[in-house]
């Protein structure tokens, strides 16, 4: 009997999923383990999809995605970041952020190569690296004072002749950390000096609470990079437009990588669903008012949960600047999966275990605060009681 390929056997299971699967078999769970809002996709986007279907957007598109959506993405970067992109070669529409990560990593890594990954991080990056027969070297963000930092000394120490890239996520899932401009510059300089790709996951860039005004995105790394830099950015419509189930995202990359990713798309998924791309165009063009309302709600949710967590015994939690997660550290916690399992069974609160997010994640739990207040309030109450009971 042939066995499964060794490389796929080595890809770890998602421990978020593992816990979620237990939770999904139960009724009445307060579900804060996945990274999505409980708000449905806004009506104007659903209507755009219906119209797209009626208008005949039911056929194959280009591998790089509909030219009109690529132009909408280009205008988005021009408007929000003052960055001019070529929709023909530097923008690839993908069937989600995860697919953008997948195809870009595939274009950067050969078997046996190594990738530096800033963690704790959404596990998919490291798992996709493993799927490419490469090795993820996880470099944890140290918490200094009330802020997570980038450990440049650890990055220097971990880089070697097999290292091909550095992957970071800002705003971070699960930390909510946002790279400062100085950190961005140093990451870019580090990669330039060592001849590495810099892959930035910016899927949460619009969910930012520390800008001059709510709605201002986190400055993209693209503002600092030149078009000849080995830089790529992963993005998605999932988070900012409540479109997790639609599977539309994009990759911005240096021209050679953009063109190669376009070609490879053919063999992976060919392209994102046509009518969903069309609806995505509407989201980008008309989404600001709805996004502003969502940001007000998310910031209030963040503050509600932060205030509650700061009253809980043995909990340390820095104020996150972006995304929609809190990642409290719990004194003495050494098995976050077991903690989350017990919390789920005993209180029906579903959180994601910190161990799922790689090096530096154990000892914490992730709370997604994009849910409704009516879910967050009882969840915080039950977590307080659970921690008090020891």
Ligand X SMILES: Cc1ncc(COP(=O)(O)O)c(C=O)c1O
Backbone angles phi, psi at 335, to 5 degrees: -135, 85
35 binds ligand X (CB under 6 A): yes
**Closest separation between CB of residue 174 and ligand X, Å?**
8
Place of tokens 């070609």: 263
203 binds ligand X (CB under 6 A): yes
249 binds ligand X (CB under 6 A): yes
Nearer to ligand X, 308 or 326 (CB): 326
**Closest separation between CB of residue 325 and ligand X, Å?**
9
**Closest separation between CB of residue 67 and ligand X, Å?**
21
**Closest separation between CB of residue 268 and ligand X, Å?**
14
Nearer to ligand X, 201 or 362 (CB): 201
202 binds ligand X (CB under 6 A): no
Residue 219 near residue 181 (C-beta atoms within 8 A): yes
Near ligand X by CB under 6 A: residue from 102, 170, 173, 359: 173
Three-state secondary structure call for residue 228: coil
Near ligand X by CB under 6 A: residue from 30, 32, 64, 98: 98
Near ligand X by CB under 6 A: residue from 236, 265, 277, 359: 236
Torsion of the alpha carbons at 330, 333, 334 and 336, rounded to the nearest 10 = -70
Nearer to ligand X, 203 or 340 (CB): 203
CA dist., res. 7 & res. 322, Å (int): 34
The residues, ordered by sequence, that sit 6+ positions from 104 with a Cβ below 8 Å of its Cβ are 199, 232, 234, 251, 253, 257, 261
Near ligand X by CB under 6 A: residue from 90, 114, 201, 362: 201
Residue 271 near residue 62 (C-beta atoms within 8 A): yes
Return the structure tokens found at 213: 């005004």
Which residues, numbered 276-315, are part of the site for ligand X (CB under 6 A)?
A: none
Parallel/antiparallel/unpaired status of strands 329-330 and 315-316: antiparallel
* DSSP at 3: P
Residue 298 near residue 218 (C-beta atoms within 8 A): no
63 binds ligand X (CB under 6 A): no
Near ligand X by CB under 6 A: residue from 41, 89, 96, 163: 96
122 binds ligand X (CB under 6 A): yes
**Closest separation between CB of residue 237 and ligand X, Å?**
7
CA dist., res. 384 & res. 308, Å (int): 8
Of 255, 254, 256, the residue nearest 230 (C-alpha): 254
* DSSP at 286: H
**Closest separation between CB of residue 97 and ligand X, Å?**
3
List contacts with ligand X (CB under 6 A): 35, 96-98, 122, 169, 173, 201, 203, 236, 238, 244, 249
């Amino acid at each position: 009997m042939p066995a499964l390929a060794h490389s796929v056997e080595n890809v770890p299971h998602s421990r978020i999923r593992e816990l979620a699967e237990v939770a999904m078999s139960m009724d009445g769970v307060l579900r804060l383990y996945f990274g999505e809002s409980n708000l449905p996709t806004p009506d104007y986007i659903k209507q755009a999809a219906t119209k797209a279907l009626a208008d005949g957007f039911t056929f194959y598109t280009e591998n790089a995605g509909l030219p009109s959506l690529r132009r909408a993405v280009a205008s988005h970067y021009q408007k929000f970041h003052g960055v001019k992109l070529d929709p023909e070669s530097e923008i690839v529409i993908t069937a989600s952020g995860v697919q953008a990560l997948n195809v870009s990593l595939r274009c950067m890594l050969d078997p046996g190569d190594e990738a530096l990954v800033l963690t704790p991080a959404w596990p998919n990056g490291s798992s996709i690296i493993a799927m490419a027969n490469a090795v993820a070297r996880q470099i944890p963000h140290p918490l200094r004072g009330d802020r997570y930092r980038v450990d440049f000394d650890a990055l220097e120490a971990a880089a070697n002749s097999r290292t091909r890239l550095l992957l970071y996520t800002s705003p971070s899932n699960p930390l909510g950390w946002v790279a400062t401009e100085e950190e961005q510059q140093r990451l870019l300089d580090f990669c330039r000096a060592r001849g590495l790709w810099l892959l930035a996951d910016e899927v949460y860039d619009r969910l930012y609470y520390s800008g001059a005004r709510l709605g201002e995105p986190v400055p993209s790394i693209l503002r600092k990079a030149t078009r000849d830099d080995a830089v790529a950015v992963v993005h998605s419509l999932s988070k900012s437009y409540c479109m997790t189930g639609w599977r539309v995202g994009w990759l911005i990359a240096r021209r050679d990588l953009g063109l190669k990713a376009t070609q490879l798309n053919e063999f992976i998924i060919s392209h994102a669903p046509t009518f969903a791309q069309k609806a995505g165009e509407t989201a980008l063009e008309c989404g600001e008012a709805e996004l502003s309302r969502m940001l007000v709600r998310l910031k209030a949710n963040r503050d509600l949960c932060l205030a509650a967590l700061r009253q809980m015994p043995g909990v340390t939690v820095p104020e996150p600047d972006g995304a929609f997660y809190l990642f409290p550290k719990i004194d003495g916690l050494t098995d976050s999966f077991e903690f989350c399992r017990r919390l789920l069974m005993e209180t029906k609160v579903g959180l994601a275990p910190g161990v799922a997010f790689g090096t530096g994640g154990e000892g914490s739990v992730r709370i997604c605060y994009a849910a409704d207040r009516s879910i967050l309030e009882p969840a915080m109450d039950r977590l307080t009681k659970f921690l008090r009971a020891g």
